[in-house]
Amino acid sequence: MQRLTGGFRPYCLLILLGLFLFLPGIAAVPPIDRDESRFAQASHQMLESGDYVRIQFQQESRAKKPVGIYWMQAASARLLGAEQSIWAYRLPSAAGALAAVLLTFYFGQFLTGRPAALAGAALLAGAFMLVSEAHQAKTDAVLLAAAVAAQGALARFYMAGKNAGPRPGLGTALVFWVAQGIAILIKGPIIPMVSLLTVIALWIADRRIGWLRGIRPLSGIIIVAAMVAPWVAAISSATGGQFVGQAVKGDLLPKLLGAQESHGAPPGYYLLLMTATLWPASLFVVPGFVRAVKAREGAALRFCLAWIVPSWIVFEAVPTKLPHYVLPTYPALALLAGLAVAAGDPCLRTAWAKAFYALFALVGIALAVLFVAAPVRLGDGLTWLSLPPAAAALAAGVVPAALAWRGRFFPAVEAALAGAILTYGLALQTLMPHMDRMWLSQRVAAELPSGTPVAAAGFHEPSLVFLMGTGTFLTDGEGAARFLLSPPAAAAVVEARQQPSFDAALAAAGRKARLIAREEGLNYSSGRPASLDLWELDGKP
């Protein structure tokens, strides 16, 4: 391992690993409903309108997240000349995921040493949740990069205060505050909350906080205000002060007070999912965390625990839960795993650790079964395309678990990462794009000429708007019939339950429609089967 950690070798290795994990499938997988397509469409509308202050999904103000990610996605699509392509809007997420991995190594080396930091950063790169977020045009992969920069800079000041590292300078303080400003522009107060909880936990544990003066709090707050205030002032002026109020009342408070959009779960939800969401990094995360708790007097371990525990408790306590909410804690968990592996710690050889390795193997087996079964429901039935990712997932679960059981921890990490590359790459590049029943919007778009005016009755998924254009009219059956009667060469997409009102409205107008195609599949956002008929106006009255 030592030969891999010298000079720039770790960065080169991590960049290659990130490219193998984050790029396959980024262009092959169609736009995903609902959040990704809403983000991408809102960014696309910025390019269409030239308005880079307001955030709109069609005519609706999208007061969900601040503007940062929309600017990044719009810039990516414009610079690459690919404003109609979903992959261009995903690239900031892939870049954010890669930056998070590299920053985990860079700052992690000051906490754990280079071998442990390399193992931890590599395990983070392969974590299922990060790979998933890297392939979607959303906020969380970029937010994670800002989180690692902020927490890593904070860690350097803490370690210096414990005489466990060189004293950082003004540049490190600037990194901390700029990362906080970027994080606020991307997703509001999440990362400032994580950093504040980390500081409070360390203060309680150490009974001292003098080390915090090094980050220059007063100057830093001014820097953050200078970054955030101009857009806040601009959006408040553009919306008459409504945007911030809508964001707080319509998004933040509902998540804190109840299960928003049916995404509720009891406390313990993230703990229960951790083996799968961190897979294959989860192989050593639980033993690494237990080791850190037992040896928590160490400065690096104490910092990582202060990073993880209070924020995790808050995320578990908030009623609204989505699997990616705890992602900002994953770098610290991965570093603890890397530290346990680098130390060959005895905790990795305990009976309960070996029992956990068996549980880890079950995740790979479950993924293999899923890859074989999914095309039955979401594609054309059993297909040979399932076999390579299923075999890779099986190997990625069983082989690392067997190696870890035998005490061969570094080979287990290497096997887990190789399995992750094959599993994710094959699933995302070859299997998912062929699950045609999932991709109803893409199938509709393939049936209609580019630029066709479209009304959609009963099927209002954002992916259809992104693929067919901002002018896509989301309505009911009667509205779709009226739309078909007005613009030339228009088309209507009518879901089966809206068909009677569509037919009745056309009959009342004395006109008929001609069926272009019928697309049947699963609306995975609602979990219900969907049957869509595509109509154009018959030329004969």
pLDDT (tens digit, 0 to 9) for every residue of the chain, 541 residues total?
567 777 889 999 999 999 999 999 999 999 999 999 999 999 999 999 999 999 999 999 887 789 999 999 999 999 999 999 999 999 999 999 999 999 999 999 999 999 999 999 999 999 999 999 999 999 999 999 999 999 999 999 999 988 777 889 999 999 999 999 999 999 999 999 999 999 999 999 998 999 999 999 999 999 999 999 999 999 999 888 777 767 666 565 555 555 555 555 788 899 989 999 999 989 999 889 988 888 877 899 999 999 999 999 999 998 888 899 999 999 999 999 999 999 888 889 999 899 999 999 999 999 999 999 999 888 888 888 899 999 999 999 999 999 999 999 999 999 999 999 999 999 999 999 999 999 999 999 999 998 899 999 999 999 999 999 999 999 999 999 999 998 778 999 999 999 999 999 999 999 999 999 999 999 988 889 999 999 999 864 4
Q: What is the pTM of this model?
A: 0.94
Residues 428, 476, single domain; the answer is no
Number of residues that this document lists for the chain: 541
**Amino acid 265: pLDDT:** 74
Q: Which domain holds residue 291?
A: 2-243+269-340
| Residue 508 in tokens | 């009342």
Residues 275, 144, single domain; the answer is yes
| Residue 435 in tokens | 């699950």
In a domain, 258, yes or no: no
In a domain, 259, yes or no: no
**Residue type for position 178:** V
Residues 431, 457, single domain; the answer is no
Last residue of a domain, one of 340, 361, 378: 340
| Residue 239 in tokens | 């919306």
- Edge-to-edge strand ranges of the sheet holding 528-537: 473-475, 454-457, 491-495, 528-537, 513-523
Last residue of a domain, one of 340, 361, 384: 340
What's the domain count of the chain? 3
Last residue of a domain, one of 412, 437, 462: 437
In a domain, 250, yes or no: no
**Amino acid 489: pLDDT:** 85
Cβ neighbors of 47 (< 8 A, separation 6 or more) are 74, 77, 78, 83
In a domain, 261, yes or no: no
Residues 375, 445, single domain; the answer is no
In a domain, 345, yes or no: no
| Residue 437 in tokens | 């029943």
Residues 199, 84, single domain; the answer is yes
Residues 410, 462, single domain; the answer is no
Residues 452, 511, single domain; the answer is yes
Residues 289, 369, single domain; the answer is no
**Amino acid 14: pLDDT:** 97
In a domain, 479, yes or no: yes
Residues 371, 309, single domain; the answer is no
In a domain, 513, yes or no: yes
The separation between the first and the last C-alpha atoms of the chain, rounded to the nearest angstrom, is 77
Residues 426, 443, single domain; the answer is no
Looking at the DSSP assignment, which residues form a beta bridge with residue 495? 532
Cβ neighbors of 505 (< 8 A, separation 6 or more) are 477, 478, 481, 482
In a domain, 254, yes or no: no
Residues 447, 431, single domain; the answer is no
**Amino acid 264: pLDDT:** 58
Residues 301, 232, single domain; the answer is yes
**Amino acid 258: pLDDT:** 52
**Amino acid 256: pLDDT:** 54
> What is the CATH classification number for the domain harbouring 528?
3.40.190
